[in-house]
Structure 1
């Protein structure tokens, strides 16, 4: 137990979680139950995406939080491929990280234990521990944003794969020869069920001056380039028919992909997170229908439940902090066992 200078209270086992995206660094002090006690957020301008500047930004927000709270470990969730040792970012599409030894750099500067994790894995772990997946051991988490990220929990453990890169569900091919994906392939799942997919289809519909897209066209003053995914979601909630259909289409593709994942992993639960999941049943209703229709052995097997994530935008930093706590606890217990053995 340690004294918190900023609050005048005694607190136990506080860790910092960091969530790094292409344009922001979000941080939070998290207690053992997953509650965020303090938050910081700072932008990383386009010109400042070099590894050193992003590293400086991370250190700055952590030091700011440490002035108020006694922190004993740091977890970092990064949007990119993280190696199996949870030490280096092998590749980050929106930052200049290429085999970046982030854990070593931060550990030296902060003099604290540091864990680096893929952001989707971090978000998933938060949902498993303190969110929609509590009490369930076999879960697949699918995050719908500009693309599709994912994570795998089997037997209550986060499954990272041999090289640390498991869970890149968005790049499963669902339409051979389909839309070109940023990854270089064609027909990837995220080209049909992500926020970018909804935006692309809405803009194409409006650009064709389709009569069914009248609401979309009016909402952007006749300029299809101004259509965004959140706008489509808002219009769908207001009952705009074209927007509802666009979400139904994305939901259908989501259900097809989930059925493929069920054939491979047979989970008890799918948790759908990310910004697109804010559409709720406008998206998840069609997804559940398509899932049941596409599921291998349908009618003769139990069906996984499909639910929405609970923790929202803070899932990444909460999960990163919990993973840091877990790793630090394991190291402490190993050290204690070695000490007892030497004493004997």
Structure 2
């Protein structure tokens, strides 16, 4: 049995695993993503730490040493699959990541956009298996995206296709970390969910009283997972906040359906843990805003099978398949 390493670098966490040929995670670990004010070398150090810990864990578990490494990065990855051109939530700017890591990791390395990696995992093993045309939307710190056409990832001429999170949906709207205003991820992402919840709390809105109590009165503890947990426990404000995120998700998906006409939209990333609290409102908005609704086939909107693991599974698989 051959094995390979997959490492997924997001805005808040670096997760890694050693996987077998069927995409099963045999051992895993994770670290917090270094603050983006840190130099790129600090993020590189974290990746190497995760890799070295995975080797140790694999050895302890009697797992065959890995032969390749795939790294899924939350950023614009160039067509060479070696350079991170720009990462809104990290410190990379034209970062030669494969070259840098190659000096410290003595295995073949492939760098891939994290959403491309997530879609590949779902195509090979999960919710898009058997589908030829699919779109992946990853909701985490921001929004990532990927496109599959004819069973092939569409990377674009420069490798940067699928950055849907930076489509403008509200002219003159919220300032985005990419430098523009009104980007989709400012209205439908983990950051957007947390911003709205904390805004209500800081304004001393009575609507937020139960939500604040859920985190013991510490507004800084209003994170995406905590808000989702509160919603699942029936907190009305948390449910409303997720429904708003879901509404904007449906707006963007309807626009993408007009442009790309896929068979299925797969929603992954940490925020997708809200499941129908998020996807229910998204599907409702999508059905109302789809161009030509009632006269055309409508794509399905489903949750990623592998949830937050999709990025590392896909990165490992792409790293092995080249």
Question: TM-score, length-normalised on structure 1?
Answer: 0.84
Q: CA deviation at 1:120?
A: 1.4
Deviation at 1:43, TM superposition (A): 4.6
Corresponding position of 1:251: 246
Q: Retained in 1: the 8 A contact 2:36–2:89?
A: no
Matched, 1:35 2:24: yes
Tell me the distance in 2 between the aligned counterparts of 1:170 and 1:256: 12
Q: For 2:10, which of 14, 21, 27 is the aligned residue?
A: 21
> How far apart in 2 are the matches of 1:192 and 1:205?
15
Asked if residue 288 in structure 1 is aligned to residue 283 in structure 2, the reply is: yes
TM-score by length of 2: 0.89
Q: Distance in 2 between matches of 1:53 and 1:212?
A: 40
Task: After TM superposition, list the pairs within 5 Å mapping 1:63-142 onto structure 2.
Answer: 63-66=52-55, 68=59, 69-142=64-137
| Aligned match for 2:176, one of 158, 172, 181 | 181
User: Are 2:257 and 1:262 aligned?
Assistant: yes
The whole-number CA distance in structure 2 between the counterparts of 1:59 and 1:243 is 37
Q: Indicate the residue corresponding to 1:315 in structure 2.
A: 310
Contact 1:14 1:71 in 2 (8 A): yes
State the distance in 2 between where 1:281 and 1:22 align: 24
CA deviation profile, 1:143-195 (whole Å, cap 9, x unmatched): 11121111111111111111111111111111111222222222111111112
Shift of 1:290: 0.5
Change in Cα spacing, 1:104 to 1:295, as seen in structure 2 (3 Å) is same
CA distance in 1 between partners of 2:146 and 2:268 (Å): 11
Task: Give 1:44-55 correspondences, 5 Å limit.
Answer: 45-46=34-35, 49-55=38-44
Q: How many residues align?
A: 316
- With 75-84 and 221-230 compared, the bigger mean Cα shift is at 221-230
- Quick one: structure 1 residues 177 and 218, their matched pair in 2 at CA, closer, same or farther if it must change by over 3 Å? same
* Larger CA Rg, structure 1 vs 2: 1
Q: CA-atom RMSD, angstroms?
A: 2.3
Q: Which moved more, 1:220-229 or 1:115-124?
A: 220-229
Q: Where does the alignment leave 5 or more consecutive residues of structure 1 unmatched?
A: 1-10, 328-344
Structure 2: where are the runs of 5+ without partners? none
In 2, distance between residues paired with 1:110 and 1:292? 48
Distance (Å, rounded) in 2 between the aligned partners of 1:96 and 1:275: 21
